[in-house]
Amino acid sequence: MSQFGTNFCDNFVKARYEDGAWQAPELVPLEPLQMHPASHVFHYASTCFEGFKAYRWSDGKARVFRLADHATRMQGSARSLCLPVPDVELLSDMVLQLVSRQVEDIPAPPSSLYLRPTLIGTLPNIGAAAAPSTEALLFVLASPVGDYFAGGSRPLKLLVDDKRARTTEQLGSTKTGGNYAAALGPTLAARAEFGVDQVLFCPDGDVQETGAANFLLISDDEIITKPLDTSFLHGMTRASILSLGRDLGYTISERNFTVGDLLAWAPDYEAALSGTAACLTAVGTLVHNGEEHTVRDGKTGPNTERLRKALQDVQYGLAPDPHGWLTEV
């Protein structure tokens, strides 16, 4: 299978917002978008997106994971960017229409169909820096993907940056491309200088997240992660791991902690990144002030493996779905 996120289904679905209302969605063959060069998105970054997966079970039917929750999160992103807000029902119906059309293209687990709803401002006005886009386009792409880490994941190495933030405080919980662009430069520089995989952004010593994933510390009986605020993304995989961890008897500690705390706990706790693409991936090494700190024994820990398996078993239909996260197509 091709590189993650580069192979697309033959169709996509789109809906326009114009004259103060959303128009009926259209399922059409995948094609380039025709847009005016003055479109708001090109000049003022009025764009947000979501990313989640559909799985095809052994019965041949597809299940979409946490569809309504992702649609609700997209509404929050749209509001924060002053874009027209799509109804949960509208976006959900668009996703289900596309998945239903492409169900035969969904590979068996651990592969899946990655879904990417995107909302952009299309008003052609280069004088609208201080005004919202009153026209918009919502579309959903579908991409068959394999296991993010072909051949198995390896523990990651992170640079602990105790000065810079991943993004601005007011947009941290907005899923917008600008946040990822802001993290790209520091991440590439850290890879070149320190040989790390990602940067763990900890502004003023406050442990937050990496460029594209939430951060957790895990012991045999506790999961520690930063409490939700507007400074970082409210990851759906993070939320799912916390719910399943609670079901399995872990104490869930959503609290702020510092870089000093992190380095003091590293010998005893497992560390992991959570996200849609990589699920739950172990962190084996932290680099801070030029010094490497091994997380436990530097390997994927048993609790990380246990929690990842618990989540994937629900997604793949190997375990019950007690939280009602799956929508059958």
pTM of the model: 0.95
pLDDT at 21: 98
The pair of structure tokens assigned to 52 is: 């989640």
pLDDT at 5: 81
pLDDT at 239: 98
Tallying the residues shown for the chain, one arrives at 329
Q: Which residues contact 4 (CB under 8 A, 6 or more apart)?
A: 114, 145, 146, 148, 277
pLDDT at 277: 86
- The Cα–Cα gap between 255 and 224 comes to 7
Specify the fold of 156-315: D-amino Acid Aminotransferase; Chain A, domain 2 (3.20.10)
b/e code 304-317 from CB counts within 10 Å (16+ = b): bebbbbbbbebbbb
The pair of structure tokens assigned to 230 is: 């507007």
Specify the fold of 11-145: D-amino Acid Aminotransferase; Chain A, domain 1 (3.30.470)
Handedness of CA 17, 19, 23, 27 (dihedral sign): negative
Average pLDDT of the residues in 307-311: 98
At residue 283, the 3 state secondary structure works out as strand
pLDDT digits (tens, 9 = 90+) for 236-294: 999 999 999 999 999 999 999 999 999 999 999 999 999 998 799 999 999 999 999 99
Q: Measured at the alpha carbon of residue 208, what is the angle toward residues 202 and 252, in degrees to the nearest 5?
A: 135
- Could you tell me which residue, 264 or 146, shows the higher pLDDT? 264
Distance linking the first and last C-alpha atoms of the chain: 24
pLDDT at 149: 56
Average pLDDT of the residues in 9-32: 98
- The Cα–Cα gap between 286 and 65 comes to 32
Q: Which residues contact 24 (CB under 8 A, 6 or more apart)?
A: 15
Q: Measured at the alpha carbon of residue 245, what is the angle toward residues 52 and 70, in degrees to the nearest 5?
A: 20
pLDDT digits (tens, 9 = 90+) for 151-197: 457 899 999 999 999 998 889 999 999 999 999 999 999 999 999 99
- pLDDT category at 3 given cuts 50, 70, 90 is confident
Average pLDDT of the residues in 52-73: 97
**What share of the chain in percent tops pLDDT 70?**
98
The pair of structure tokens assigned to 223 is: 């999961």
**What share of the chain in percent tops pLDDT 90?**
94
The runs of H, that is alpha helices, within the chain are 40-44, 67-80, 88-102, 177-194, 236-247, 259-265, 302-315
Task: State the chain's mean pLDDT as an integer.
Answer: 95
**Cβ contact 52:67 at 8 Å:** yes
Q: What are the Cα distances from residue 196, in Å, to 165, 211, 264, 271?
A: 18, 13, 20, 15
The full set of domain ranges for the chain reads 11-145, 156-315
pLDDT at 150 over 70: no
> What DSSP character marks residue 226?
P
Average pLDDT of the residues in 60-75: 98
Average pLDDT of the residues in 108-118: 96
